[in-house]
Structures are given as C-alpha cells and as structure tokens.
Amino acid sequence: MKPDATAPDVSVLICTRNRAARLATSIEAVLRSMDVAQASGISSELVIIDNGSTDATPSVVAAAAEDPRVRRTVEAQAGIGRAREHGCTIARAQVILFTDDDVIVPGPWVLTMARAMLDGDADVVSGGIAMSEGLWRPWMTPTLAARYFAHNPTPPLSNPGLAGASMGITSEVARRIGFDDLLGTARWPGAEDVLLYVQALEAGYRVRGVRDALVEHRFDESRLDARRLRGIAEGYGRCDAYYFHHWLHVRLAMPRVRELSHRLRYAARCVVAGRDPYDEVLLDRRRSSAFHRELRLLRDQPRRYAFRGVGRVGRPVPDDDLAASFEGPTRFRQSGEI
C-alpha cells in the first residue's frame, strides 16, 4: 500500500468517556501543542474517540471538530483498550501519540514526543507524567503515586514503562501489536498499555523514554478516596493476573491455598495498619490477594496469546517473520512476589 501523501505526520488520539468538563481543557492544550509542531514543519491531526459517553461529551467534541485538524469517532462499547484500538484504525499518520482526557500537555509535547519516531530512532516512546500539585496528600509516597496514579515525571531513557497519559507508537506497532480489547474494562480496568509495552520489547521494537515534554495529570479528586483507592488496587491485581495467565502462561500449584494465604496476609496487615486506609503495604497486599483470586478464576480459560506472543485469537500477526523474534530469550523481566 502506497503512503497517503495528504496524511499528516502525527496523529494524536484522545479516548474519552463522560469527562466533558475536563475534556475541553485537554483538547485546547493538544491543539496549542499541534500549533507549535506546525511551526517546526510537523503536521498533525487530533482524533477524539468518544467511548460511549452519556454526558455533554458529544457537544464538546462537536465544538472542537470545527477545527479542520480535529476528527471525531465513536466506539460505543466501553473499554479503553477497545477505544485505543479503534482510534488506531482511524489515525492516518505513521506516528500515533496518545494522551488522556484529564491531562494537560505542554506546548512542545507533540514535537518532542514524535521526534524520535519521525527520525526513525524509536518505535515506541514514553513521556513523563506528573500529578497536579493540588492532588498530593500527606499519606502519598512517590512509590504509591507511581504505582496507582502513573506519576513518573522522569522516565528512564531505556525500558521506561508505558502509560496512556503520554505515549506514542508507530503505525507499524499499532498494526502488528495493538491494544487488547478486554483490558481497560470494569473487570480488568487497565494494563492495555503495559501489555503493549512488554510485547513491543519482546518483539524487538525500540522503546525510548522522553523527559522533555512533561504532562500534567489532573484526575478527579474522587480517585483519592480510600474506598476508591482500594478498588483501584484490586482492579490492578486482576489486571496482573490477566497478564500472567494470558501472556506469561503462569499456572500456579494449589491456587486456593495460595489465595487463602494472601487473604490471611492482608488480614494480618489490617491489624498492623489499624485505621490507616492508605497504608501502602496494605494496598499492595489487597492487590496481591485480588491477583491470586483472579489467577485461580482464569485458570481454565484458553490463553489469548501464545507464550510471550503478539498475535492473539482473531488478530494474527501480519508477518510471519515477526513471530520468529519470539524464539530468543525475553527482554522483559517481571519482578514482584507471586
């Protein structure tokens, strides 16, 4: 297929669902960043994917679409993985950037994030993400902020991880790997970016950290509520299990005994932590308990991926030569207690 001569250099994707009040500000910031890129000769488009919103989001998107660089589309079935995947099919550029509907990007963001991919020096990029200052609380440690709120202002240049608030991939990565449509849903509320990251590393794609385009994450304060945070920890535990079952093919012996053991460890930490609902060890043990329960529930389900593979059921890898890259040792090492 010949490249489209009219296509922009960069496509920016924002997936959104019921955040109309914050979305408008995020769109304005992206458009300003696109102006900066245009001044340097880099053309771009903004694709907004409405993921089944029931608030005023359609009106906000319609207003933004008065700018000819903005395109809108709808993915009615909820799920950030499905919405990102749909957006990638709509994007026209060879470089695709992602940010979220509660994020403010700085002026140089489009230019800086896209540069390495446009120059052919990277296939995947991960940008710095900082929580808004007003969201910090006395109980919040840097580790907790990174683990549960994607706070990572200075990603390492190599093996930087990946978070949807500020990341980019080439259209080839989108076509060959893409996003898992089951992730970013109620049962598995994240990890679509994590799975793509480890698959890209395994496939030999070049992943780079970008430190010169720090975005501001202005998420709703309700995420800081203790009950909500416990739910986030549990959801991430289920996502961990999804990844271990479907991609790493982990199958633990005596799953019920392990699950009970971790539930008891969580209960023991509740005694130690007392009334502190933000105790970091308590949250991690809640996550671990959810992980073992979900891994047991997934135990007899068919794997969606070959062992450390890319092509999943119903979405084969386009080129046979890519599959050969999985015969060597993995580049990714999973740390943490099982």
Q: What SS3 state is found at 8?
A: coil
Whole-number pLDDT of residue 183? 97
What's the first-to-final CA gap in the chain, in angstroms? Answer: 46
| Mean pLDDT across 120-125 | 98
Query: What DSSP string runs through 12-27?
Result: EEEEESS-HHHHHHHH
H helix runs in the chain, sequence order: 20-39, 57-64, 80-90, 109-118, 142-149, 171-176, 192-202, 226-246, 255-273, 280-298, 320-323
Q: What SS3 state is found at 85?
A: helix
Whole-number pLDDT of residue 272? 87
- For residue 43, the surrounding DSSP H or E stretch is none
Q: What's the number of CA atoms in the CB half-sphere (13 Å) around residue 142?
A: 4
| Mean pLDDT across 313-335 | 40
Q: In terms of Cα–Cα distance, which of 75, 81, 18 is closest to 239? A: 81
| Whether 44 contacts 69, CB under 8 Å | yes
| Whether 61 contacts 31, CB under 8 Å | no
Q: Is the pLDDT of residue 334 over 50?
A: no
Phi-psi region of 165 (alpha: psi -120 to 50; beta: other; left: phi over 0): alpha
**Residue linked to tokens 């007003």:** 134
Rounded distance between C-alpha atoms, residue 269 and residue 285, angstroms: 8
Sheet bearing 207-217, strands edge to edge: 70-74, 44-50, 10-16, 95-100, 166-170, 124-131, 207-217, 103-104
pLDDT in tens, 65-91: 999 999 999 999 999 999 999 999 999
Mean pLDDT of the chain: 91
Joined tokens for residue 278: 């933000």
When pLDDT is cut at 50, 70 and 90, the band that residue 215 belongs to is: very high
**This prediction's pTM:** 0.91
Beta-carbon neighbour count of residue 249 at 10 Å? Answer: 13
Q: Is the pLDDT of residue 97 over 80?
A: yes
pLDDT in tens, 260-299: 999 999 999 999 888 788 999 999 999 999 999 999 999 9
Chain center to CA of 47: 17
